[in-house]
Amino acid sequence: MEPLPDPPESWRLAIIGSGAVGCYYGAKLARAGSRVSFLMRSDLAHVRRHGLDIRSHLGDFHLPAVHAFGSTDDMGPADVVIITLKTTANPALETLLPPLLHPGTRILTLQNGLGNEEFLAARWGADRVLGGVCFTCINRTAPGRVEHTAQGALALGSLTPASHATAAAMAHLFERAGVSCRHADDVTAVRWRKLVWNIPFNGLAIAAGGIDTQRILDDPALATLASRLMEEVIAAAGLLGYPQPDGLVSDQIAATRTMTAYRPSSMIDFVEGREVETEAIWGEPLRRALAAGADMPRLTMLCALIRSLVAQRRAAL
């Protein structure tokens, strides 16, 4: 891999998937002085005229001048491409990414679930690929507007030593932008830690009829089921070689209570008739857990229910 230029502050960054996550982290980087371009679709005209409006518990800000584009052909090569598309759109990356790549370009996925790094590595080489995990409560509430209500930290890592320094440099850029970010030695272990939360809360929010996290925790049966699902995911992660810290279930429940009535992104996608990241968040973790010999009765049932509900919703549209 060709080295990227020094200093990292000079890197050209491209955000692919300018929803809540892409707009929030991209706007933070741009406000701190990074050269950030955004691929946008539905918000393109609005953002070109009005900029990005970030409402955050860490401090609101407005980014008036945004380098927003409707096509990657118009963006030009980038040093780091940051992918924040829903995983259901991954096949589109085969045409979206090539115009952005030069011989040294790295590709950072901040997507949910499992399998995204492998998808990218199979097509563009493992040396290019960085993995990132977002621990944040964030929604897009209007054109060009993002509501960031809790948390916000990132963890980044590389698949091979060739991009180890790039991952560390990207963590520095995020820290410089006011984002708590650590360089993780094993990003897959961090992905499993996020799944401990995502699997039960995104899943039960859908399965229980489109409810928020507070309603899940206020219902004793759903709260217990959330804890049991967390325990299954933690056990599976351990069998796969990604042990999780003691007390994680109680810590996650306590953290979720501070989110109050948070609407998980997968539930919003479901109730608004958009594609749900069923396989990345539930299907792939379940397949890997079962292959490792884990007993996953609750996740097996939840995954089947979500697949059925999504199929019914798709048929009704």
Mean pLDDT of 165-185: 96
Question: What is the arithmetic mean of pLDDT over 175-189?
Answer: 95
Domain that holds residue 103: 8-185
Based on the fold, state whether residues 115 and 23 are members of the same structural domain: yes
How many domains does the chain contain in total? 2
Identify whether residues 227 and 111 lie together within a single domain. Answer: no
Say whether pLDDT at 57 is over 90: yes
- What was the pLDDT predicted at 8? 97
E-assigned strand segments in the chain: 12-16, 35-39, 52-56, 61-63, 67-69, 80-83, 106-109, 129-142, 145-158, 181-183
C-alpha–C-alpha distance, residues 113 and 207, integer Å: 18
What does the pLDDT average to over 45-72?
A: 97
Residue 317 has pLDDT above 80, yes or no: no
Among residues 185, 210, 225, the one where a domain terminates is 185
* 184-195 average pLDDT score: 95
CA–CA separation, 169 and 183 (whole Å): 9
**DSSP string spanning 221-287?**
HHHHHHHHHHHHHHHHHHHTT----TTHHHHHHHHHHHT-S---HHHHHHHTT----HIIIIIHHHH
CATH number at residue 251: 1.10.1040.10
- Do 213 and 283 belong to one domain? yes
- What is the model's pLDDT at position 123? 98
The reply to whether 232 and 142 lie within a common domain is no
Percent of residues, the chain, with pLDDT higher than 90: 96
Annotated active-site positions, please?
194
Please report which confidence band the pLDDT of residue 260 belongs to, taking 50, 70 and 90 as the band edges: confident
User: What pLDDT sits at residue 1?
Assistant: 82
pLDDT in tens, 95-114: 999 999 999 999 999 999 99
0.85 exceeded by pTM: yes
Q: What is the mean pLDDT of the chain?
A: 96
**Within 13 Å, how many C-alpha atoms sit on residue 72's CB side?**
21
